[in-house]
Amino acid sequence: MMSRLTLFQKAVIILLLLLLPTVLIYSYSNYVTEQVIIEDIHSRNVNRLEVSVNQFESDLDQISQFIVALSIDSDISSLRNIELYSPFEAVALKENVSEKLRTYQQLSKLLVDVTIYMPSNDNAITTMPNFPDTPENLSSSWSYIESSTGREQDYFIRHVRYPLNNVVIGNEVIIEARVYAQSLRDHLDELVTTNDNEAFLFHDNFGTIAPERTNSTLTESIDHQLQGSSGTLNVHHNGIQYLVSYVQSEALDWVLIDFFPLDELLKPVYTSRYLLYTSVVLMIFFGVISGWLLYKEIHIPIRDLSHAVHKIKQADYSVRITAEHNNEFHKLTHGFNEMAQQIQTLIEQVYVEKIRSQDAFLKLMQAQINPHFLYNCLFYIKNMAKVQQTEAVEKMALHLGHYFRYRTRVEDEKTRLQEEIDLVEHFLSIHALRKKCLTYSISVPKDMYDLEIPRLLIQPIVENAIVHGIESVTGKSYIRISGKVNQNSYLITIEDNGLGLSDLEMNELAFNLEDGEVLKDSYGLRNVHQRLQKKYDDESGIYLSKSELGGLKVELKWQVLEANK
């Protein structure tokens, strides 16, 4: 049945078969994602509230430890028998105790007041602005007190009586700590991470401790649904579904509650779902159109092009494609037709270019033998022989012989770096004999000596440095040659103390190195640069810069290739 269907019909059926599982899988994935997001938010909110409750309890525990430690402090023990001290000593003792209380009040993370009562003499030491009355009922654990002056002054209170047993030596001391609810409200504000979520403390008897903007009606609907010491709830209120998380504090016996509109959290999921359904409808519509266009505008031209390419493979260069429409395939078919006409010409050009390249290499080898250089060397030998400087004649002849023996070996295109360095050293020695003010140095690592490189790679650069760099220098001239092995490349550097080049001249010379046209000027440099690039890669070649010696710095760089290691 499928074999009788057209390509267009097959494309539509395949598209529908692809869309159906996609819609089912995405719908299931959307549902699982929604559940995972809700569970993850539940877990994160409970963990966040547990951390906050632990912080509350840790701060309260520090206050409890302080007042217990304060009860057995030496100054407090002295305070119980204050009537035994002179008036001056009693005032100093009270001041010491007050200073301790103020110091702790400043260091505490919570808003706290500490008061020491001495019931026997009706005295008290406190951090509060007004002296409170001696408490009648003592609380050994944290208890909540609603202030008559307003909810801003509500506080949690705890007392410690000393001595703790029935043995009384000296007067009794009662230490009281008050933690104000306002400091807890400030901490609750820090729990609010967005404009929609809210956090508050809740107690069955006292109601809530919450920031001013908390939704009080929502707290009433949560009242009877809390079960256990921690958990989460989904609460519907005024047509909105809220995600509620809560954790109970054992130290305060209050519950920390956080709630957030669930629809806000899941809005990206809902948006994604609506976009999916819309995109499915659009995909079906455009899929049908795309199938038809695919067959007409792409399949047919590709089929014709495939048949034509097959004929080209069989050496039938007369094949041509007729373009029926003026579109992208028209350009492709037109290009194919031109390609078929030019293949024979291109093949011939390849052979011609190969012959031309070989001829250029031979011309390069011949051009490197400078008749003027040979004439100067022979003229030097004649002059030295005339004044009977046999040692100079011997040195010049020896260096010249080694130099030309290497230069005239044209049968090998490659050589070892050590042989190229030896050639350069003979070449520089010849010029040093002719020009006494010329000195040079060669420092190439020995582990580079066995590298295989193209012949006449360094000598043309050195010759360029002598002719164009230091030839016009009247004083001492110096050429420095160095080598370096990098992580993935080799580097040979030639520097001189000549006149150098300006920035404009250096840029022009760098441009000429990349020029494909054979130029008379800078031929040696361009030839070395392009040979390096052709043998290795585009990162290889000659790099020009100013030398610290004052002249030009030429760097020959080639990459370390696996095939050339």
Distances (CA, A) of 1 to 9, 10, 295: 12, 11, 20
Residue 74: Cβ-neighbour burial (10 angstroms; 0-12, 13-18, 19+): exposed
Query: Contact at 8 Å (CB) between 487 and 479?
Result: no
Distances (CA, A) of 28 to 20, 22, 145, 266: 13, 10, 53, 16
Question: pLDDT at position 519, please?
Answer: 46
Question: pLDDT at position 7, please?
Answer: 57
Q: pLDDT, tens digit, for every residue of 213-245?
A: 665 566 666 666 676 677 777 777 777 777 788
Q: pLDDT, tens digit, for every residue of 520-529?
A: 455 678 888 8
Q: Which two tokens stand for residue 404?
A: 């030309």
> Residue 347 pLDDT > 80, yes or no?
no
pTM beyond cutoff 0.85: no
Task: Give phi and psi for 495, each to the nearest 5.
Answer: -130, 155
As a whole number of angstroms, the distance between CA 48 and CA 191 comes to 9
- Can you tell me the mean pLDDT for 460-476? 86
- Give the amino acid at 69: A
More confident residue, 361 or 48: 48
- Can you tell me the mean pLDDT for 68-92? 78
pLDDT band at residue 350 using 50, 70 and 90 as cut-offs:
low
Q: pLDDT, tens digit, for every residue of 398-409?
A: 988 888 888 777
CATH numbers and ranges of domains, the chain: 1-269 (no CATH), 317-364 (no CATH), 369-564 (3.30.565.10)
pLDDT band at residue 366 using 50, 70 and 90 as cut-offs:
very low
As a whole number of angstroms, the distance between CA 273 and CA 267 comes to 10
- Can you tell me the mean pLDDT for 305-328? 74
Among 61-65, 122-126, 282-286, 459-463, name the most confident range.
459-463
- Residue 466 is given by DSSP the state I
> Residue 38 pLDDT > 70, yes or no?
yes
